[in-house]
Structure 1
Amino acid sequence: MRESAAERHARLLALVRERGTVRVFDLAGLLGVSAVTARRDAEALAARGLLDRVHGQVSWPRTGAAEGPGTGTGTGTGTGAPEGTAPGGLVLGLLAPSAGYYFAEVIRGAHEAAARAGARLILRISDYRPEEDRARTEGLLAAGAQGVLVAPGWRSPDDRRAYGDWLAELPVPAVLLERRADPGSPLDGLDRVSSDHSHGVLLALRHLLDLGHPTPLLVARGDSPTALAVRAGYAEALGTLGRTAPGAVVESVPAESDPAGFERAVRTLHEAVTEGRVSAALVHNDVDAIQIVQRLAELGVRVPDDLALIAYDDEVAALADTPLTAVAPPKRQVGSHAARLLVERLGGGAEAAQDAGEEPVRRHLSLLPRLRVRASCGAARAASRTSTD
């Protein structure tokens, strides 16, 4: 079986942790990959704060960093404690479906909050295989985690129902991360921290409506909890705004894995624009939005001249040829708040409540996304017209 990027990153981190400092050129031979791949991996891990990179070499961070995918090892603390330990022995586990794209910032936020609390953070990656979530979480416990932050690898509501209830049976405190539970389910009684995607969608639609566009069309995937939350938020926002959708949600798919499906989505949006039914769209996610803009340009539809567009996620939206206005979920803050909540559960807050004869109060914390306005919705052009009329 071909090694995944997450597995390769885990091997790279293990090598650097063992050796302290390694030349990037040497990593290629040690990992059995090309020099280009080794350099890209090193840059990606350094960008996430997991390694220090200077003058063609990478080093293990002196202040500690979250461990790589699946390694089951932790971080130093920069406090003089032995490597792999933390003051008081506090160890947090984090299960994430990915170490890249959306979840890189969630992980970074959790790591920073854990470090500030003097705790060690250990990380496992599920690679969006929900059937493996339980075993990987048990691996975190076996590695010493006293509490866990869990973002299950669910892709659909069926996954949540089939691979979710075990979380409520864990013998340690658990915080559900960037996921929602079915009301009344065992998981609904857990602490959780998540982005309020309904609020993010509402921000986007209001912005486009304020610019004078008729009701925007939604172009979205359906293969992740965030995608499903964006879809649900779109329906909710339409009701709040008293609007009717200009057409059915356009099913978006990754261009690299389903070129024909991607082309169908672009053609559907192109037709809606050229027929005058749509002048604005919200697209989940950034990567799809950038590729859709490129393909629409080839078909003669320009952003923002012919179509105002807002992306959802704000991971790479600013890097498009025409920088994309985007909804930015508070990913880093989600990780930070969740880690702080877990530290509180482990650090005495729960015990104090129990000593007073009280049951600890569980929390469902929703953090609000922001809208980052750039060129793709024509906001600057609209503002200029308004000021000169």
Structure 2
Amino acid sequence: MRESAAERHDRLLDLVRERGSARVSDLADRLGVSPVTARRDVEELAGRGLLDRVHGSVSWPQEQSGGGTGAAGGGLVLGMLAPSATYYFAEVIRGAHEAAARAGARLILRISDYRPEEDHARTEGLLAAGAEGLLVAPGWRRPGDPAAYGDWIASLPVPAVLLERLPAAGSPLDGTDRVCSDHRHGVLLAVRHLRELGHGAPLLMARDDSPTALAVRAGYADALGVLGLRPPRDVIDSVPAEVCPDRFEAAVRALREAVASGAATAALIHNDVDAIQVVQRLAELGVRVPQDLALIAYDDEVAALADTPLTAVAPPKREVGRQAAGLLVERLGRGRPGRGRDAGGEEPRRHLTLLPQLRVRASCGASSI
């Protein structure tokens, strides 16, 4: 099986962490890729703050804090497992890295590439590399994944914080610290905004291949119930255009049919990469945004860059990373001792939920704010 970019980034980070520094040409040889590919990978990782780059070489970041030396001088080492280092999780990682640097800690990263069956082994790798606490975002994709690939997290030998993942109620992970975006609230913001603009219930087009996508689907049903609305038709299943062009085309045509029949005048689409492609194809089919269809995207990674800038729900991704890393540092004893402890002397676990924002742009037909 061909190695993914995420797996290659994971190997590159491991090489630099082990050596402290390395020339880009040497990394290309070790990774078995061209110098151009290695340079591009280094630039991407340095842009996220995961590496320091100077004159053809890269080094592991040597963060300094107000209290003294960073992790290289004996500070904390935090391990982070993420399903991806791009798109949504790039910002989560960046936030965690910033919070670790402020605490004088070093963050080391491993990527699962959304293969939950490998999460446990990759986490063991983080522990072997010296991680004293863990930020864990499992590579779950389907509803059954938390039960099949999640219980091991509750028995980790070091403090752990679950991020952007909601385990099933009553699972062993209920007692684990976690920091998550409230996607149900984000969907409610979108549906309520469209209703205030005079639309009925928006049509939902969404993926079903990630915890965020599943939460958006669940939030859609909840939002319609709260606002007393009925869906104009069943949810349209979305897939990336490059993965399955035929299914993508069928989804776009289903949306076009709903607009043409008058069943829907508004739509919510997860995610905004898909939304941009949908808007482009709708235009070719004679449906204009926002004149014929008011549209809101979910995630707000690239929504503002569309020809018609897309109104979007923006989960607080970077703040999720910051809060999770800060909580982990506190769990490791770097916070104020004794604060918030119960009579038995143990600090209560926390489930911290952060609220998304709605960023209003041209695609919903309202003035931006």
Contact 1:51–1:59, Cα closer than 8 Å, also in 2: no
Post-superposition offset of 1:2: 1.8
Aligned equivalent of 2:348, options 361, 370, 384? 361
1:3 is aligned to 2:21: no
* 1:123 match: 109
SS at match of 1:219: strand
* 2:50 match: 50
1:317 is aligned to 2:303: yes
Contact 2:201–2:266, Cα closer than 8 Å, also in 1: yes
Distance 1:93 1:196, change over 3 A: same
Write the distance in 2 (CA, Å) between the matches of 1:22 and 1:215. Answer: 56
Write the distance in 1 (CA, Å) between the matches of 2:288 and 2:147. Answer: 42
Deviates more, 1:78-87 or 1:223-232: 78-87
Q: How does 1:366-381 map to 2 (within 5 A)?
A: 366-380=353-367
1:108 is aligned to 2:99: no
Write the distance in 2 (CA, Å) between the matches of 1:104 and 1:329. Answer: 13
Contact 1:350–1:360, Cα closer than 8 Å, also in 2: no
Write the distance in 2 (CA, Å) between the matches of 1:120 and 1:196. Answer: 28
**Residue type of the alignment partner of 1:7:** E
Deviates more, 1:30-39 or 1:104-113: 30-39
- String of CA shifts for 1:186-230, please: whole Å, max 9, x gaps: 111111000000110011111111111121111000010000000
**Percent of residue pairs identical:** 73
* 2:331 match: 345
Q: How does 1:288-327 map to 2 (within 5 A)?
A: 288-327=274-313
Write the distance in 2 (CA, Å) between the matches of 1:305 and 1:129. Answer: 41
Q: How does 1:109-188 map to 2 (within 5 A)?
A: 109-188=95-174
**Residue type of the alignment partner of 1:47:** G
* 1:387 match: none
Contact 2:68–2:104, Cα closer than 8 Å, also in 1: no
**Residue type of the alignment partner of 1:379:** A
* 1:265 match: 251
Contact 2:10–2:109, Cα closer than 8 Å, also in 1: no
Contact 1:217–1:278, Cα closer than 8 Å, also in 2: yes
- String of CA shifts for 1:295-320, please: whole Å, max 9, x gaps: 11111111111111111001111111
Write the distance in 1 (CA, Å) between the matches of 2:219 and 2:199. Answer: 19
Write the distance in 2 (CA, Å) between the matches of 1:358 and 1:13. Answer: 39
* 1:68 match: none
- String of CA shifts for 1:97-118, please: whole Å, max 9, x gaps: 1111100000110111011111
Contact 1:108–1:332, Cα closer than 8 Å, also in 2: yes
Consecutive unaligned residues in structure 2, runs of 5 or more = none
Distance 1:43 1:293, change over 3 A: farther
Contact 1:16–1:22, Cα closer than 8 Å, also in 2: no
Contact 1:179–1:194, Cα closer than 8 Å, also in 2: yes
Distance 1:359 1:21, change over 3 A: closer
Q: How does 1:17-32 map to 2 (within 5 A)?
A: 18=19, 20=21, 22=23, 32=32
* 1:212 match: 198
**Residue type of the alignment partner of 2:78:** L
Post-superposition offset of 1:277: 0.9
Q: How does 1:238-253 map to 2 (within 5 A)?
A: 238-253=224-239
**Residue type of the alignment partner of 2:241:** A
Write the distance in 2 (CA, Å) between the matches of 1:366 and 1:19. Answer: 36
Aligned residues: 366
- String of CA shifts for 1:121-148, please: whole Å, max 9, x gaps: 1111111111111111111111111111
**Residue type of the alignment partner of 1:276:** G
Post-superposition offset of 1:347: 1.1
SS at match of 1:380: coil
Write the distance in 2 (CA, Å) between the matches of 1:13 and 1:138. Answer: 16
Consecutive unaligned residues in structure 1, runs of 5 or more = 66-75, 384-389
Distance 1:166 1:13, change over 3 A: closer
Post-superposition offset of 1:38: 4.3
Contact 2:296–2:313, Cα closer than 8 Å, also in 1: yes
